[in-house]
């Protein structure tokens, strides 16, 4: 497989819903929902890209870090690198059926496994969306992290049971989806979660519970207090609220607040291995990759997803060599100018 062919295939398959731009930066698709753009003006998606571009890496080559170790211990697994597939659903709806939710879920789960990492799976306005993720995990006998929309607590607890039965590694709640209107329209109401509701969710399961969509330090602190196993700093790829900052803009203040008490993951606008290294330097433990893997799946199925993940890992290794980092632990804010 080569990247040009993969991108050409993906462009053909996804048009006009995604143009597979040279830079996936949210400009051409601004406001396209259904589609793969950011909501409203598209500023939140673009802010993810711009926030990462603000940071520059110090080029350093007078050292002996020539074969960096990217392996990452996450929960009870060792991943090939600190990157995982982000939860994505309603892909069929967003691409006019050109990439189905089933093909996406299977490609994400299998492709992640092929690249030595795991997939997070999502939840959408049709309850079948969540189920497709669970089925992809059980069919291929791999562990992943099903992420549940902030539904009513009784429904969340029921969805968690299904994740437990599927042998999930952990579960997540994308708390930033509290205002998604098409969930309500389809009779699947979502809303914000208060401290007690969060505690009840965490208490209901022996699985680690991640909160995805944390963008402020006070909510990161609350996540730690209620017993979350980790957080994902994320503005949902710019798809839930216009005019939010980029994830890379708020990451370091959130990581300082959490101060190693739980893992801090991040996503939004990560397009290269250098971007991953920047996120780790800003305080993230690991990253999730979204749209680039949709392109991988559309252009080459599970192999396409694995291809994109492996490309990111090899770019990450080069970035570590050229910033003098022999291990993940060696990546610190010092490598940023
Ligand atoms: C089409 C689409 C559907 C998504 N569905 C979900 C979802 O079901 N659950 C969730 O937590 N996040 C969802 N997200 C957000 C992603 O998990 C992730 O936060 C975002 O795509 C990261 O930004 P990136 O695409 O720029 O890498 C979705 C994103 C897109 C583009």
Which atom belonging to ligand 1 lies closest to the Cα atom of 172?
Answer: 11
Chain centroid to CA 319: how far? 21
What is the structure's pLDDT at 1?
86
The confidence score (pLDDT) of residue 182 equals: 83
Answer for the pair 227, 197: CB distance below 8 angstroms, yes or no.
Answer: no
Question: Does residue 126 line the site of ligand 1, with CB under 6 A?
Answer: no
Query: Which residues, at least 6 apart from 269, have a Cβ–Cβ distance to it below 8 Å?
Result: 25, 45, 48, 49, 51, 52, 246, 247, 248, 275
The whole-model pTM stands at 0.98
Nearest-atom index, ligand 1, CA of 271 = 27
pLDDT means over runs of 10, the chain (337 residues): 96 97 98 97 98 98 98 97 98 96 98 98 96 98 98 98 98 97 90 98 98 99 98 98 98 98 98 98 99 98 98 98 98 98
Residue 196 burial class via C-beta count within 10 angstroms: exposed 0-12, middle 13-18, buried 19 and up: exposed
Binding site membership of 163 for ligand 1 (Cβ less than 6 Å) = no
Please identify, by atom number, the ligand 1 atom nearest to the C-alpha of residue 147.
11
Distance from the alpha carbon of residue 135 to the mean position of ligand 1, in angstroms: 19
94 lines ligand 1 (CB under 6 A): yes
Q: How far is the CA of 325 from the centre of ligand 1 (A)?
A: 30
Cβ–ligand 1 contact at 174 (below 6 Å): yes
Give me the domains of the chain, ranges plus CATH numbers.
3-17+33-58+70-335 (3.20.20.70)
Q: Is the CB of 39 under 6 A from ligand 1?
A: no
| DSSP class of 330 | G
Ligand 1 mean position to 164 CA, how many Å?
Answer: 23
In short, whether 289's Cβ falls inside 6 Å of ligand 1 is yes
With a 6 A CB cut-off, is 269 part of the ligand 1 pocket?
yes
What's the DSSP call for residue 253? H
225 CA distance to ligand 1 middle (Å) = 26
How many Cα atoms within 13 Å fall on the side-chain side of residue 327? 4
| C-alpha to C-alpha distance for 244 and 292, rounded to whole angstroms | 21
pLDDT for the residue 2: 95
């Amino acid at each position: 497989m080569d990247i040009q062919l993969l991108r050409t295939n993906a462009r053909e398959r996804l048009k006009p819903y995604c143009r597979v731009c040279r830079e996936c930066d949210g400009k051409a698709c601004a406001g396209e929902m259904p589609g793969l753009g950011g909501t409203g003006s598209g500023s939140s998606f673009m802010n993810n890209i711009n926030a990462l571009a603000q940071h520059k890496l110090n080029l350093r080559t007078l050292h002996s870090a020539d074969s960096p170790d990217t392996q990452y211990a996450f929960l009870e697994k060792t991943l090939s690198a600190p990157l995982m597939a982000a939860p994505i659903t309603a892909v069929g709806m967003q691409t006019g059926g050109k990439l189905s939710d089933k093909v996406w879920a299977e490609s994400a789960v299998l492709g992640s496994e092929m690249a030595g990492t795991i997939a997070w799976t999502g939840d959408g306005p049709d309850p079948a969306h969540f189920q497709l993720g669970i089925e992809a995990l059980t069919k291929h006998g791999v562990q992943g992290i099903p992420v549940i929309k902030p539904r009513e607590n009784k429904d969340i607890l029921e969805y968690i049971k299904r994740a437990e039965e599927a042998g999930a590694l952990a579960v997540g709640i994308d708390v930033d989806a509290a205002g998604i209107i098409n969930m309500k329209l389809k009779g699947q109401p979502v809303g914000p979660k208060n401290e007690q509701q969060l505690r009840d969710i965490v208490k209901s399961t022996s699985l680690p519970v991640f909160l995805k969509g944390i963008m402020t330090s006070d909510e990161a602190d609350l996540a730690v207090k209620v017993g979350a196993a980790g957080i994902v700093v994320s503005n949902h790829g710019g798809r839930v609220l216009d005019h939010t900052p980029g994830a890379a803009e708020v990451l370091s203040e959130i990581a300082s607040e959490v101060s190693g008490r739980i893992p801090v993951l991040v996503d939004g606008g990560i397009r290269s291995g250098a971007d991953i290294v920047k996120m780790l330097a800003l305080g993230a433990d690991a990253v999730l990759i979204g749209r680039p893997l949709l392109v991988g799946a559309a252009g080459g199925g599970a192999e396409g997803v694995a291809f994109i993940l492996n490309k990111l890992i090899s770019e990450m290794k080069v970035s570590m060599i050229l910033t003098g980092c022999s291990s993940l632990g060696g990546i610190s804010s010092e490598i940023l100018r």
